[in-house]
Amino acid sequence: MHRRALVLFSGGQDSTTCLAHALARFEHVETLGFDYGQRHHVELQARLNVLRELRERFPQWATRLGDDHVLDLAVLGAVSDTSLTRDMAFRMEASGLPNTFVPGRNLLFLTLAAALAYRRGMTVLVTGVCETDFSGYPDCRDDTMKALQVALTLGMDHRFLIDTPLMWIDKADTWRMAEQLGGKDLVDLIVEHSHTCYLGDRTHRHDWGWGCGSCPACELRARGWAAYADTTR
């Protein structure tokens, strides 16, 4: 029971840490990404780079790392109007949610992940959702995940476990978790190869990795890194 896991893997800091968490814990791990017409195919490239580097640098994990899947979710563009799918600037809405928010997007991601996991004999769905930094996303909340775990388990008559290792920790602790899982090698890999920047910038290199340095995703990553670095010096 619960030996095979599917990790929702976008190529960012959070999901790369979740992938390492899964590789340390489960016998067989596969990865799933979604292509929803992101302006930044740099994210999809980052996924491949992270997987390649993990295989090369962590042979003990390479034997557990199975297939990578990418599902085309261009349909999201038909039900949303956001800066991820159209050529609009990133901004915060009056609702307090960024305009990149696609209502219920994670519900869709996890439902598709469950269908794939069912077909391939996996029971654990690992996702980097977190209430700590982005409590504005209702589909990232712990209660939503617990309700969805029950709904998917009943609806597919297949016992699912939704594993959310980052739910209650902040970005500094996410770096610490990476260090605990794979030491400095893993931290270095995440800094260099994971991608977080909303603008898809891979031309500016900072202590914490590549990015524009000023979008909300970069700011959050930089703040987390600074807090982490302060305690490791």
3-state SS, residue 45: helix
Q: Which residues pair with 209 in a beta bridge?
A: 206
Q: Does 23 bind Zn ion (CB under 5 A)?
A: no
Q: Does 218 bind Zn ion (CB under 5 A)?
A: yes
CB-based contact 169:132 (threshold 8 Å): yes
| In the complex, minimum distance from the CB of residue 60 to Zn ion, in angstroms, rounded to a whole number | 33
| In the complex, minimum distance from the CB of residue 232 to Zn ion, in angstroms, rounded to a whole number | 24
Pick from 21, 77, 84, 80: which is nearest to 217 by CA?
84
CA distance 57 to 216: 31
Q: Does 187 bind Zn ion (CB under 5 A)?
A: no
Q: Which residues contact 174 (CB under 8 A, 6 or more apart)?
A: 13, 14, 17, 166, 224
Q: Does 211 bind Zn ion (CB under 5 A)?
A: yes
Q: Does 215 bind Zn ion (CB under 5 A)?
A: yes
CA distance 163 to 151: 15
Structure tokens at 76: 């999201």
| In the complex, minimum distance from the CB of residue 16 to Zn ion, in angstroms, rounded to a whole number | 17
Q: Which of residues 189-208 bind Zn ion (CB under 5 A)?
A: 197, 199
| In the complex, minimum distance from the CB of residue 113 to Zn ion, in angstroms, rounded to a whole number | 27
Size of interface with Zn ion, in residues (CB under 5 A) = 6
Binding mask 46-85 for Zn ion (x = CB under 5 A): ----------------------------------------
List interacting residues with Zn ion (CB under 5 A).
Answer: 197, 199, 211-212, 215, 218
